[in-house]
Amino acid sequence: MIQEAIAKLINKEDLNYEMAAGVMNEIMGGEATQAQISAYLTALHMKGETVEEITASAGVMRNHSLKAEHDMDVMDIVGTGGDCAQSINISTLASIIASAAGAKVVKHGNRAASSKCGTADVLEALGLNLLVEPETSVEILKEIGICFLFAQKYHTAMRYVAPVRREIRIPTIFNILGPLANPANANMQLLGVYDESLVEPLAKVLSNLGVKRGMVVFGQDRLDEISMSAPTTVCEINNGEFSRYEITPEQFGFTRCRKEDLEGGNPEENAEMALAILKGEKGPKRDAVIINAGAALHIAKGISLEEGIRLAEETVDSGRALEQLEKFVALTNR
């Protein structure tokens, strides 16, 4: 099937759901050669990926993953990466704060790809055991409202694709599939993207994948989070309905900062910055984390963005967020 798909893509023809899913099954099942995978990913990128192709591919990637089975409403807070901002781990900290405020968060992530420090890197530096078994992760989620699913552990079929991606070094559909392939099938999501053209298509993909409430956000300074240094484009998902709008830091009482003010460092440095924020240190880094945690609480609890932001601030200032991190680390190491 992959040979037929490559021929279609070279002629700029879109693939239907069945063919896109079939090809991804061949790739994830180890049935496609490295040359075929390379040609397919390149041709698909040159044509431009459609909502249907992305939905089908993400669904297959989920099917091939190790599962974290549960029956709860859960959310993920994640960025596509690729923004080259080298910022602190905003979505990771937002996940800890949102869960401490009552949201159930299944954080799915990996080591750094385009940055110095990915989610897995900073959590490991903070003391988290990344290799917890799925059943234990679900138990931790039930107990404290958060768990971490390490992509390398859950998506072992990616071993067929990784060498090709390393060698061709161009953006491919896999740059956006990771954040769409949460092994716990999160039905709520705050997704940051590195390109404004992805905002509405990925909102539709999330809805197709079963996300009932969510936001896809693009910081207009090319940050894959809600930005503190520029307006942010948002497409909100609410049970199959979509609304596009723009927000700014000022409308929530924050002072706009420079993009460089959000820069992080290596895992140890980012862990130190994370602890400082959770201990109450003020400044633009805290503001960026708070506004994103507030958006997550808006999604998870159905409260306004303003109410979500205030709740995130209270959660940090009361010490509950720091306590949540300490519990999280302890439970993964017991």
User: For residue 265, which amino acid is it?
Assistant: G
Using pLDDT thresholds of 50, 70 and 90, give the confidence band for residue 97: very high
Is the pLDDT score of 276 beyond 60? yes
Half-sphere exposure of 128 (CA within 13 A, CB side): 27
Is the pLDDT score of 272 beyond 90? yes
Residue 171: is it exposed, middle or buried by C-beta count within 10 angstroms (0-12/13-18/19+)?
middle
pLDDT of residue 114: 55
Q: Comparing C-alpha atoms, which of 133, 72, 66 is closest to residue 106?
A: 72
Give the chain's domains with CATH numbers.
75-153+182-332 (3.40.1030.10)
Task: Give tens-digit pLDDT for 209-235.
Answer: 999 999 999 999 999 999 999 999 999
Q: Can you say which residues are annotated as belonging to the binding site for 5-phospho-alpha-D-ribose 1-diphosphate? A: 79, 82-83, 87, 89-92, 107-115, 119
- Output the CA torsion 103→124→323→214 (10° steps): -10
pLDDT of residue 41: 97
Number of C-beta neighbours around residue 322 at 10 A: 20
Q: Can you say which residues are annotated as belonging to the binding site for anthranilate? A: 79, 110, 165
pTM, full prediction: 0.94
**How far is Cα 164 from Cα 143, in angstroms, rounded to an integer?**
40
Task: Give tens-digit pLDDT for 98-154.
Answer: 999 999 999 999 887 656 788 999 999 999 999 999 999 999 999 999 999 999 999
**How far is Cα 73 from Cα 275, in angstroms, rounded to an integer?**
28
**How far is Cα 206 from Cα 203, in angstroms, rounded to an integer?**
5
pLDDT of residue 118: 86
How high is the mean pLDDT of the chain? 95
pLDDT of residue 85: 64
Is the pLDDT score of 86 beyond 90? no
pLDDT of residue 83: 55
Three-state secondary structure call for residue 301 = helix
Sheet holding 241-247: strands in order across?
A: 146-150, 105-109, 75-79, 188-192, 213-219, 232-238, 241-247
pLDDT of residue 112: 76
pLDDT of residue 13: 98
**How far is Cα 332 from Cα 334, in angstroms, rounded to an integer?**
6
Give the DSSP H or E segment for 326.
helix 320-332
Give the DSSP H or E segment for 190.
strand 188-192
Of 7-21, 171-185, 226-240, give the lowest mean pLDDT range: 171-185
Q: Can you say which residues are annotated as belonging to the binding site? A: 79, 82-83, 87, 89-92, 107-115, 119, 165, 224-225
**How far is Cα 230 from Cα 247, in angstroms, rounded to an integer?**
9
Using pLDDT thresholds of 50, 70 and 90, give the confidence band for residue 82: low
Compute the average pLDDT of residues 308-323.
Answer: 99
Sign, CA dihedral 122-124-130-136, equals negative
Q: Name the maximum alpha-carbon separation found in the chain.
A: 59
Token digits of residue 194: 């590195």
Higher pLDDT, 79 or 31: 31
Half-sphere exposure of 193 (CA within 13 A, CB side): 21
Residue 124: is it exposed, middle or buried by C-beta count within 10 angstroms (0-12/13-18/19+)?
middle
Interhelix angle 51-63/17-28, nearest 10 degrees = 40
Q: Can you say which residues are annotated as belonging to the binding site for Mg(2+)? A: 91, 224-225
